[in-house]
Structure formats: C-alpha cells, structure tokens
Amino acid sequence: MTEHRSGFACFVGRPNTGKSTLTNALVGSKVAITSDRPQTTRHTIRGIVSRPDAQLVIVDTPGFHRPRTLLGERLNDLVRGTLAEVDVLGICIPADEKIGPGDRYIAGELAKAKKKHTPAVAVVTKTDTASKQQIAEQLLAVATMGADIGIEFAEIVPVSAVKGDQVELLADLLTAQLPPGPPLYPDGELTDSPEERMVAELIREAALEGVRDELPHSLAVVVEEMVPREGRSEDNPLLDVRADVYVERDSQKGIVIGKGGARLREVGSTARRHIEALLGTPVFLDLHVRVAKDWQRDPKQLRKLGF
C-alpha cells in the first residue's frame, strides 16, 4: 500500500480561462459558479477530491487581473496569499488563445511563489476548442514561456473540463505533488464553503446570465435570511431564502429587474432550481435589487458585502 497523501493545489490564470469549470470537473460536483463573463470568481473556493490514496483540495481563485478597483486589489492580495500557502501551484492557460502579457505576468507571480520550492503545473485548458496541432503548439509555447520566466513546470497537461478529457490524469499529477498526510476534511465533504455563500453565488450566477459590459462586475449578492417556513409538516418542508442583489447605479437596477420584473423573475426561478438541487429541499426565493453606490471602490461597502 502506498502512503496516504493530502494537501492543497490552487488554480490561477487570467479571467475566463476555465479555472472554476476545471475545479468542478475534478470534484465531480458544482462547488464554484462559472460564466463566460470575466472575473466570475471572487472568493477562494475549496473543492475537495477524496480518494482511497489521497485527499486533494483544489483552491479555485479569482485568478489575477489588472486591478481597476479596490475590490480588484483585494482579490489579487487574496490570490497572492493563497499562492504562498498551497502545496502545488496550477496555472490555467486556454488552448485556443495565444499566450499574452497576462499569462506571463501570472507565471512571474508563480515563479516568485516557487522560490519557496512549491512545484508548479501548467494546465492547457479547453482542449475541445482547439485542433491537435493547436494544442501541441500551445504545450510548446507554455514550456517556452516557463523557460523565459525561469519557472520549470513539473508537468504541462492538456485538459478539457467540459468533455472530461484528461481530468483524471490531472488529479493524479497534482496528487503526486502532495506531501504524505492524513485526510484534512471528512470523507464525502465536497467544499467548505458555507451554505449561505453557495446560495448567494448561485443567485449571482443566474443574474450574470445575459448581462453585458460593466454590469457583471457591478453585481453582488448577499443572503439575508434562510429559515424553514413555519407550520410546515416534515414531509412538506419549504425553505424561505431572502437575498439582496446589489448593483452600483440606479440605471443598472432597471436592467436587472427587467420590464415588469420579467428578468428578475427569470433569474429567481433559475437560481431557485439550482438552490433546491444544492440543498435538497423546496425553496421560496425572495429577491430584492438594491443599489450600493460604487461598492467596488468603497471599503465600507466591501466589508458589508463580504470582501
């Protein structure tokens, strides 16, 4: 029998490179919300992969971005802190996009963290969107970038989280970099995110669908209350969830609510289905849209919204 291993791997990378989708694929369950809007992830989210020989905890991060607001700066600090704490670093670079300054900047941040001898793995994501030749070229380009920056990747792995290609292999390769140790979380636990955070995220994910420009960045969700409806019998429960959807300007409020409230109703019913699936109980979801003026730049508001 081999020795049991356990520890943490984190994913960094430009916005939209598939970090959260890959985290979910590795865990085999949706622990992080995903969207085609950049900067979807705003917290570090731990997804737990338990196997007989190892427990691999994936830390999905907001990536790294050019900070334009106080929120952006806070998120970058959060990611930097995570890099210093994990056992193996993962950088995600999509197969279908040329390597750019953003990737090189992030690889540079990894190189700094790697000074502490943390191994780094490069993941070429979204291989289902690229030809074999494109993938081969990207693997080479990633190795070249690593050499330029002075970071030697322990592995460079092509994966498709959507198709499930090579996801198992990536789990094996990350696990191989972990130190020996006992499980860190109880078997069967998939994430340590509090339920209220997960519920808020599912609402934000539904609200992100179909909004454009600056609005995705302006959205924040806070769950104010989650209580079982009184007077319900045990076999007919209902959970009352009351949540606030925040935007930054009055003009955005109307967009989120939609004509006659149509859009908000749609967001509510999509989110409710996902929350019911997560919690395994029928839910009554009560959403309110509120304005928190320029919250991304305001320390007080950021605190209120959980950053």
Ligand X SMILES: Nc1nc2c(ncn2[C@@H]2O[C@H](COP(=O)(O)OP(=O)(O)OP(=O)(O)O)[C@@H](O)[C@H]2O)c(=O)[nH]1
> Which residues form the interface with Mg ion (CB under 5 A)?
19-20, 40-41
Q: Which residue has the tokens 């007080």?
A: 300
Separation CA 302–CA 298 (nearest Å): 6
What is each CA distance from 238 to 199, 228, 269, 276, 297, in whole angstroms? 15, 6, 15, 10, 38
Give SS3 for 103.
Answer: helix
Strands 120-125 and 45-51: unpaired
Minimum separation from the CB atom of position 202 to ligand X (A)? 14
**Number of C-beta neighbours around residue 5 at 10 A:** 20
Beta bridge partners of 222: 244
> Which residues contribute to the site for ligand X (CB under 6 A)?
13, 15-21, 34-36, 38-41, 62-63, 125-126, 128-129, 160-162
The option from Mg ion, ligand X, none interacting with 18 (CB < 5 to 8 A, set by class) reads ligand X
Smallest distance, Å, CB 77 to ligand X? 16
- Smallest gap from Cβ 161 to ligand X, in A, equals 4
Which one, 25 or 283, has the nearer CB to ligand X?
25
Choice between 41 and 191, CB closer to Mg ion = 41
Tell me whether residue 207 or residue 239 sits nearer to ligand X (CB atom): 207
- Which listed option, ligand X, Mg ion, none, makes contact with residue 35 (CB within 5 to 8 Å by class)? ligand X
For every residue of 65-129, DSSP letters joined together read ----SHHHHHHHHHHHHHHHH-SEEEEEEETTS---HHHHHHHHHHHHHHTTT--EEEEEE-GGG
Minimum separation from the CB atom of position 227 to Mg ion (A): 30
Q: Which is nearer to Mg ion, 20 or 50 (CB)?
A: 20
Distance CA 219, CA 289 (A): 10
Taking the complex as a whole, how short is the minimal distance between the CB of residue 48 and Mg ion, in angstroms? 17
Smaller CB separation from ligand X, 128 or 240: 128
